[in-house]
Amino acid sequence: MIIVDRALQERERSGRPVRVGMIGAGAMGRAITNQIVNAVPGMRLVAISNRHPQAAIRAYTEAGIRDVATVDTVSGLEGAIAAGRAAVTDDPALLCRAGPIDALIEVTGSIDFAAGVVLDGIAHGKDIVLMNAELDGTVGPILQVYADRAGVILTACDGDQPGVQMNLYRFVKGLGLTPLLCGNIKGLQDHYRNPTTQEGYATRWGLSPQMATSFADGTKISFEQAIVANGTGMRVAQRGMLGYEVSGHVDELTGRYDVDRLRELGGIVDYVVGAKPAPGVFVFATHDDPKQRHFLNLYRLGEGPLYSFYAPYHLCHFEVPISVARAVLLRDRVLAPLGGPMVEVITTAKVDLKAGQVLDGIGFYMTYGQCENAEIVQAEQLLPMGVAEGCRLKRDIGKDQVISYQDVEVPRERLVDRLRAEQVVRFATLVAA
């Protein structure tokens, strides 16, 4: 927020606010709307696209904006922006093509649909902030290639755990330490949760049961840690990550990891269950200079060899506008792939499955996602979780068994599969259908 706040204040003073369009008006979309409208000087949410425009109108109304124009052409959208009116539409292409929009926030939680929107936005010169780890963890590396070619920023966001981890990672590296572990703190991990078991929690917090399920069954954290791995060059220590269950503070875990093994892997991403401070994130790092180790001990970080740094919270939608400002005003990505994927999220059976069944995707009843190193995904031709929905099983799959491309028939003519194939060619680390 430091530096960004003053840059936004200057845009407000000069009457040149950053103009933002958003795709998606679910729970997080409504929260982002409220934050930008009521708490971010120097930025305007000028348009929202949603499959049902009434949900976009609701987002504006809940934020206190009543004058909302419904538009169905680019000229209509640009006219509304020029008149200072908020605009809604069911066509995301209008936001991608409208000249007065500086950046897009993608918050649909979809993959194939979102990939098309991102490509369209890139083609029309829009900087794009993703609140969509599922998309990023499935085809983020190839989308980054498109963004780089177009000279636009494509980035994950502040507020979600991956962005908070990356901010902490950059801070720790800036101190001269070597990060060897990026970690996520969870309160619960149960692979067999489903929309029925999570309905009460979802209702309480205004979430969809599918979103709540992906939080609980390990799929969401797998995508989150995969994109951190892709943005840092780290890997996982084993399939599914180590996932220690602990009751104390994360500082107490510095002796739990084999430093030599962490170095050998080039650092790892991981998670812990039950640790404090929840729901924060942490980075463990080393320092090679004994003089600096002396001072780290003086400053109460201990004797090493691992030193613990943590953020005690992540604030989701509150921080998303910061990501937009970093992209547009500073050309700074919060988190983006360094190149090809380091870690993938693979599809695993939540229950016994039968030949002929069609997989129901993320946050439902049939599968959950686990992290695996990309070279193993390639060698075993494992099915990425981000393409699993709609695939038809060719044979029976037992509970907790991972699913491969050989086990399924993939739907035809999906954009996500074309992008995966491009990713294969570009980085030679993935297996196409």
29 & 155 share domain: yes
166 & 309 share domain: yes
140 & 167 share domain: no
Q: 91-128: b or e for each residue (b if 16 or more CB lie within 10 Å)?
A: bbebbbbbeebbbbbbbbbbbbbbbbbbbbbbebebbb
**Residue 338 counted as domain residue:** no
Structural domains counted in the chain? 3
**Residue 206 counted as domain residue:** yes
141 & 231 share domain: no
269 & 395 share domain: no
167 & 180 share domain: yes
**Residue 217 counted as domain residue:** yes
In 150-280, DSSP assigns E strands to 154-156, 178-186, 244-245, 268-273
The span from the CA of 164 to the CA of 311, in Å, is 8
Mean pLDDT to the nearest integer, 324-344? 97
Residue 416 belongs to a domain with what CATH number?
A: 3.90.1210.10
pLDDT in tens, 91-149: 999 999 999 999 999 999 899 999 999 999 999 999 999 999 999 999 999 999 999 99
Read off the pLDDT band of 430 (50, 70, 90): very low
**Residue 293 counted as domain residue:** yes
Nearest to 218 by CA among 425, 358, 363, 393: 363
**Residue 25 counted as domain residue:** yes
**Residue 141 counted as domain residue:** yes
- Which residue would you say has higher pLDDT here, 102 or 278? 102
Do the bridges between strand 178-186 and strand 281-286 make them parallel or antiparallel, or are there none, so unpaired? antiparallel
pLDDT in tens, 204-243: 888 888 888 898 999 999 999 999 999 999 999 999 999 9
Of 298, 330, 362, the position where a domain reaches its end is 330
**Residue 252 lies in domain:** 161-315
pLDDT in tens, 301-332: 999 999 999 999 999 999 999 999 999 999 99
Contacts of 50 (CB under 8 A, 6+ apart): 23, 24, 25, 29, 56, 88, 90
The confidence score (pLDDT) of residue 1 equals 67
86 & 232 share domain: no
The single residue listed with the structure tokens 């190839």 is: 142
Nearest-5° angle of CA 236, CA 130, CA 405? 50
214 & 148 share domain: no
Of 263, 296, 330, the position where a domain reaches its end is 330
**Residue 335 counted as domain residue:** no
Cβ atoms within 10 Å, residue 1: 12
61 & 10 share domain: yes
**Residue 337 counted as domain residue:** no
Coil, strand or helix at 269: strand
311 & 373 share domain: no
The span from the CA of 303 to the CA of 397, in Å, is 48
Please tell me the pTM assigned to this model: 0.95
Residue 88 belongs to a domain with what CATH number?
A: 3.40.50.720
139 & 36 share domain: yes
Of 272, 296, 330, the position where a domain reaches its end is 330
Per-residue pLDDT for 429 more than 90?
Answer: no
10 & 130 share domain: yes
